Amino acid sequence: MRQIWILIFLILFLLADLVNATEQTQTEAASMAKEKAEILEKKVSDNDSETPPKPAEIITKHQVRAVDPSGEEPLEDVITCLARSIYWEANRTDDAEMEAIASVVMNRLGHEGFPSTICKIVKQGQEQGACQFSWWCDGRLDDAQEEEAYSRAKEISRKALNQQLQDPTDGAMYFHNRKVTPDWSSEYIKTAKIGEHIFYKPADGKAK
């Protein structure tokens, strides 16, 4: 009987050790992804995006999946800020619309007139007030609530940062839902209609 209990104890000990190792691996993967994202973000912000990322700088699928797995982490790192903006602005629709939203954020990055980091871009403006992205100032909870859609948003973020995403908006830096026609839309060049959104870029290349 004693030997059975010893065997059970050893099994439980090994299982606990395996769980801890897995958690540590996930933590390390998330940390690596965030570090790489900062490097890739800076390259775009410094207008060095013509130079492809080095293999060691590429964010892997495994690494991006480890970032904010519950969709509830604070918006403090590049991937979470970009993925959450894609998730909410594209209404969790098809990948084409999500890729278009990602492209708008990336097109703003490093462009004169916009902040130099992705988190500052998606948070530009005030909570409970006028802001650039409606989800950020609607007063609602910003946590991602649909695992499959948020997973796709993170994967699209990964491709965007890795410069592996083709821009379907033709350089757009603005967009709005088809159901509305904001006053500012007449000031810009319409570049694309994708899903429920219409996309625009400045006529003279200058952001406002």
pTM above 0.75, yes or no: yes
Place 190 in a pLDDT band, splitting at 50, 70 and 90: very high
Q: Which residue has the tokens 């519950």?
A: 70
Percent of the chain whose pLDDT exceeds 90:
63
Domain assignment present for residue 26? The answer is: no
Its domain, for residue 144, covers 33-202
Which pLDDT score is estimated for 166? 93
Which pLDDT score is estimated for 206? 64
Domain assignment present for residue 52? The answer is: yes
Q: Is the pLDDT of residue 14 over 90?
A: no
CA–CA gap between residue 119 and residue 121 (Å, rounded): 5
pLDDT tens digits for 169-185?
999 999 999 999 998 88
Quote the mean pLDDT of the chain.
86
Domain assignment present for residue 4? The answer is: no
Q: Is the pLDDT of residue 15 over 60?
A: no
Domain assignment present for residue 23? The answer is: no
Which pLDDT score is estimated for 32? 95
What's the structural domain count of the chain?
1
Which pLDDT score is estimated for 19? 38
Domain assignment present for residue 153? The answer is: yes
Q: Is the pLDDT of residue 17 over 60?
A: no
Domain assignment present for residue 1? The answer is: no
Place 6 in a pLDDT band, splitting at 50, 70 and 90: low
Domain assignment present for residue 43? The answer is: yes
Which pLDDT score is estimated for 8? 53
pLDDT tens digits for 70-129?
999 999 999 999 999 999 999 788 899 999 999 999 999 988 889 999 999 999 876 555
The average pLDDT across 186-201 equals: 94
Domain assignment present for residue 207? The answer is: no
Which pLDDT score is estimated for 108? 95
